[in-house]
């Protein structure tokens, strides 16, 4: 019998077709924690046979809002390695019945949840802790010219960000 390290993992559908929430198991003892953050066999068994080839990390301070960006070819697996951030995922597939539908997720070091974002969806995140480490795997090489951007405050979407003041934005995201 094979010892499957991911036997206690959970995968859940979300309100967006094709977007999934994954919660890996966490081993805790007197030394701390051990978390397996990715397992190709688990993904394959859940019909998510994605060949990830690039990992990226961004470290941001409180009230930084990055995104909303995406492209038409890239799958992403998003997680929070430290701190806490709000993640918004939006369907930008003009051929979908769910076009412009979005959902918000709270990702943190504490809950260890991960979000699978399919191609043609955009994502953006707002840092809620003093700082946060945003991690994502992707199945394509990053090419900025292939990306779309949706304004964080676009009235068409009416995003509900967990912030009381103006966020800290890059020029691209203003």
- What amino acid positions are annotated as catalytic residues? 69, 136
Structure tokens at 113: 């949840």
How far apart are the C-alpha atoms of 107 and 25, rounded to whole Å? 15
Q: What is the DSSP string of 122-159?
A: EEEEEE-SSEEEEEEEESS---GGG-EE--TT-TTT--
Task: Give the residues across from 122 on adjacent strands.
Answer: 90
How far apart are the C-alpha atoms of 14 and 65, rounded to whole Å? 23
Of 88, 82, 67, 70, the C-alpha closest to 162 is 88
Task: Give the residues across from 41 on adjacent strands.
Answer: none
How far apart are the C-alpha atoms of 54 and 38, rounded to whole Å? 13
* CA distances to 71, 78, 112, 136 from 81, in Å: 24, 10, 8, 10
């Amino acid at each position: 019998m094979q010892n499957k390290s991911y036997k206690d993992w959970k995968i859940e559908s979300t309100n967006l077709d094709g977007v999934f929430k994954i919660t890996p198991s966490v081993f805790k003892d007197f030394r701390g924690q051990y978390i397996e953050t990715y397992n190709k066999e688990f993904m394959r068994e859940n019909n998510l046979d994605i060949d990830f080839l690039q990992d990226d990390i961004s470290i941001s301070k409180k009230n930084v809002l990055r995104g909303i960006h995406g492209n038409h070819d890239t799958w992403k697996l998003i997680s929070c390695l430290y701190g806490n951030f709000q993640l918004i995922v939006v369907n930008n597939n003009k051929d979908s019945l769910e076009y412009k539908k979005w959902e918000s997720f709270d990702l943190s070091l504490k809950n260890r949840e991960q979000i699978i974002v399919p191609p043609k969806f955009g994502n953006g995140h707002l840092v809620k802790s003093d700082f946060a480490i945003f991690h994502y795997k992707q199945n394509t090489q990053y090419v900025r010219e292939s990306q779309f951007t949706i304004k964080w405050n676009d009235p068409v979407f009416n995003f509900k960000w967990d912030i009381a003041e103006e966020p800290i934005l890059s020029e691209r995201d203003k």
